[in-house]
Amino acid sequence: MADLWSQWLLHRRHADDPQLEQAVRAVIDRYIERVLDGAQLTAGQTLVDVGTGEGLVAFRAMERVGPTLRAWLTDVSEPMLRHAREQATERGVSGQCAFLHCPADRLEGIADASVDVVATRSVLAYVADKTGALCEFHRVLKPGGRISVAEPVFQDEAIAAQAIKAVIDSKPAEGVSPLMVLMHRWQAAQFPDTTEKIRVSPIANYSERDLVRFARNSGFVDLHLELHIDTLPAITHSWEAFIHTSPHPLAPPLSLIMAEQFTAAERELFERSMRPVIEDPKAVTTDRMAYLTARKPD
């Protein structure tokens, strides 16, 4: 059975649109290459791919390093772990893999000081106890072992939703643009829009600086973080594909938000206003990704 993680990764991330799926995969491949550059894996080592999803980090690492690399593929989602196991068999690398169903902050089944590298891609963003997860990474690493993680930074989206709400709340109802109200309704369904909601939201209550602090408090040294903010051409110009995607697994797609929270007249106004923006061939998007590497002391 599907869960919210597998539903998003295998379907909603690209709305089952083949062209969009190809574009999304190209973006993901770029993240993975950066993570593996930071991992500095060599022959004979053992990798833990935490929150493996489709197994892409581990499988690409095997392509880079070769048949002597061993990998633990862990995930909180049983459907995704089954999918990764099937992919390993199809790729002929199942003998290099061990699979573990567990959350990122409880890597039970992996022994202390037994692996060389821990890698993640868009995993800690969804973990409430990020320091706890990093302590687990520290525990399973051998002395001198490395972490290499890539995590999205969603704080700006939450701050933007909060700002729209503040504008609406500061004006009488008749003075607020109907489109602004709908924009807020959309954004608030996908990102927290108040200080309190941001504070308790795993996806929005941290910045790239917090990631450094969490890692340092977990015992890591030689920390290096790069925040990449890239303004890029939008990867979808199809309105239908756009409304059936969502920016992260915890967010409902725009199509569901419109169906449940907009009247028919509001849906018509929103599509009339926003569809040209999405379908504009010059549309751009902003990508914010933090890349962190660090080492467990010898």
Please give the Cα distance from 125 to 152 (Å, whole number): 7
Q: What percentage of residues in the chain have a pLDDT greater than 70? A: 100
pLDDT band at 22 (very low <50, low <70, confident <90, very high): very high
Neighbours of 174 (CB within 10 A): 5
Quick one: average pLDDT of 184-205? 97
Please give the Cα distance from 262 to 254 (Å, whole number): 11
Q: Does residue 128 carry a pLDDT above 90?
A: yes
Q: Does residue 81 carry a pLDDT above 90?
A: yes
Please give the Cα distance from 245 to 190 (Å, whole number): 11
Predicted pLDDT at 2? 80
Predicted pLDDT at 287? 96
What's the pTM? 0.95
Q: Are 72 and 46 in contact (CB under 8 A)?
A: yes
Predicted pLDDT at 20? 97
pLDDT band at 174 (very low <50, low <70, confident <90, very high): confident
Please give the Cα distance from 64 to 62 (Å, whole number): 5
Q: What percentage of residues in the chain have a pLDDT greater than 90? A: 98
Please give the Cα distance from 108 to 56 (Å, whole number): 22
Predicted pLDDT at 3? 95
pLDDT band at 173 (very low <50, low <70, confident <90, very high): confident
Quick one: average pLDDT of 186-195? 98
Predicted pLDDT at 67? 98
Quick one: average pLDDT of 54-61? 98
Predicted pLDDT at 43? 98
Mean pLDDT, all residues of the chain: 97
Q: What are phi and psi of 261, to 5 degrees?
A: -120, -5
